Structure 1
Amino acid sequence: MRESHRAVTNSYDQFREDARAVAMQALSPQLQEHVSLKGIDAQERAIAGTWEMHSNRSPDAEWSWEEGVSGYKFRHPKQFDLAIWSTGQLCGLSIGKPTFSGDKMRLDVIERSPLHNLLKGEVTSISITAFLTYAESIGANQLRIMRPLNEDLVRFYQGFGFTLYRGKASNVPTHLWLNL
């Protein structure tokens, strides 16, 4: 790894830690008692690898957390990754990156565990809160949820105030956006 790459990664580590801490503080006191937020490492990747063949996993879900995260994090040193834990169970994962210009933050992949999940209904709101915090801290003015998998998810994200943009080309794909 080049020194410049390492320097960028290290300089954004504090933004990532701060965003997770702010998101924790935004949780209700009941959730704060049993939820923890951290980055995605080998432990989370291995657990998420077991999700991939689970019968409750959405058939639309194609991302491999186990195989994809390391390369994604290396290619995008300004990325933000989030692992959501509750009482010893990995409940959700999300990952995204700023756009090239840095004025928008993308939430590229978000997934709730297909197993019995103590945080069912909370994973998305926790992820959005953390991503909004990270976006603000790096100077972005918009959060985008990229390539929603189906219309049910589009409606779900719209419930958080996001607006749908139907992309027509690969350089501006379908996404939902929310100005900060």
Structure 2
Amino acid sequence: MKFGRRLALALVLAAGAGILWAPPEVSAEESGSLSLIATYVRDYTTLEHAGGTVFGGTLQGTSTVLTSSGGPFVEGEHSLVTCLIYGKRSASGADLETACTGTNAAGDKFYLLAKRTAGDVAVGSGGQGDLEIVGGTGVFAKLRGRCAYDTEYLANDQVVTTADCTWRME
């Protein structure tokens, strides 16, 4: 057998055995978008303080991905979400910050940080704000992003939030 044919045969056998190297496949998208809805039960404590009101507490509930371009977010996927909220109200308005951890069915966690300076937390009110996606674990480990969100406070300590987000992997 001539050298050229032997080399060709060796390459075919190596490829069949998986010995040749190929560029790694990208298993997840690098960026995308999603919309979600979250429902929570709130448990706040309020304190009159220095001409205003200070409040803090928890939000516990679920989030559901309504639409997704792909990546780590799956349309229809539900996650359990726990948040800590701190805020204050004065004559100049409301100022609040919320840190949330969501956990999907696989146990992977995502971390969110929300800030809002509009609206209120009283029943029948709410407001719009900005939400930052600040990483997580598992499929969310290198996740970063931004969302515009809108929250409504309902009777019986129920809260509904909708958000439209863009994300990227770092």
Specify the TM-score bucket, using the shorter chain as the normaliser: 0.3 to 0.5
Per residue, is there more helix in 1 or in 2?
1
Decide which structure has the larger Cα Rg and report it.
2
